[in-house]
Amino acid sequence: MTHGLALVRGAGVLLSLALALPAAPLKPVASVQLKSGAEVRGEVLSEKPDRVVIDLGFTLLAIPRDEIESIQAEDESGTLVVESSLAELFRIVAGSPTLSVKENVDRVAEAVVQIRTPVGLGSGFLVHPSGYVITNDHVIAGEYAITVTQFRRGQGELDRVQFNKVRVVALDARLDLALLKIEDAGETVFPSVPIGDSHATTDGQAVFAIGSPLGLDRTVSSGIISQRARALQGQIYLQTTTQINPGNSGGPLFNLRGEVVGVNNMKAMAMGIEGLNFAIPAAVLKDFLRNREAFAFDPRNPNAGYRYLSPPETVRGPASATRAKTLP
């Protein structure tokens, strides 16, 4: 690879700055696909919540994120990373190596967050560097005062960073999924976790979870996929032996490649029953994110986010009278 090699296909790039750059170590070349159909190839110098800066060798190019369709690049290990833009809000990783649970925790833990409301708490995870968070609907349903706490590794200590301005973007009670947006992060570029292929999971496959059961933040539990497609109440779930307790709700279920394959949301609780835990498959999460406009939350509309009133039904009374009753 020759330093400074860059190819630009098409047009429509919005901003460029000509700067003389000193020699620097070679970085992997990224391919940025724009919504206009153009493609830009160069080194990614920096990523901000609203833009990505590309080094074209003799020019720096700042591309607004809302103009980006996807970014493809190889990381330091040679793994192909595909980062989707705001259009899909999630990224996928091709060919990521299988690591131990400890090694995976080291690389994904900072993207797992704790979510608190005035009446309870749960878990969640960051899916986009601009601050989009996934959790369960039942964790935040009916609440507006939501805080998100991120746990960052500092110099020899753990930093707890709390964000208090959190907006509900979309939610669906039937799927039990909610999308939040951190609004008071400034120029922070958040770590995010890739979304895996839940269809590729197999019975007996090792998985692990990170969350805040009973408020015990950063708790790691591991297990296996007991059944990759368990039908419950008209929905398909991943059944797992990974411990999921109150407070784990909304947190990620990872495979050993560090990909989210499920969103933890419930467990069977009864005397003598153990190891029956369930997660929403990543395939359902991807569809929810791609179609989030359909579940958009509007605080002025009580029916926002799939919360539709039941249709009227005919109630038969005495033979002389028939009336329509609207169910609550």
- End-to-end, the C-alpha distance of the chain in Å comes to 66
Q: Please list, in sequence order, all residues whose beta carbon lies within 8 angstroms of the beta carbon of residue 201, skipping any fewer than 6 positions away.
A: 207, 225, 228, 238, 255, 261
Query: CB-based burial of residue 206 (10 Å sphere; 0-12 exposed, 13-18 middle, 19+ buried)?
Result: middle
Q: Choosing from 130, 138, 212, 221, which is the catalytic residue? A: 138
**SS3 of residue 67 by DSSP:** helix
Q: How far apart are CA 288 and CA 71, in angstroms?
A: 21
Q: Is 249 a catalytic residue?
A: yes
And the tokens for 272? 């003598």
Q: Choosing from 55, 137, 176, 217, which is the catalytic residue? A: 176
Is residue 285 within 8 A of residue 265, CB to CB? The reply is: no
Radius of gyration of the chain (CA): 23
Residue 65: alpha-carbon gap to chain centroid: 17
C-alpha closest to that of 55 among 80, 91, 19: 19
Is residue 78 within 8 A of residue 45, CB to CB? The reply is: no
Q: Choosing from 84, 85, 198, 249, which is the catalytic residue? A: 249
Q: Is 138 a catalytic residue?
A: yes
Q: Is 176 a catalytic residue?
A: yes
Report, as residue numbers or ranges, the catalytic residues: 138, 176, 249
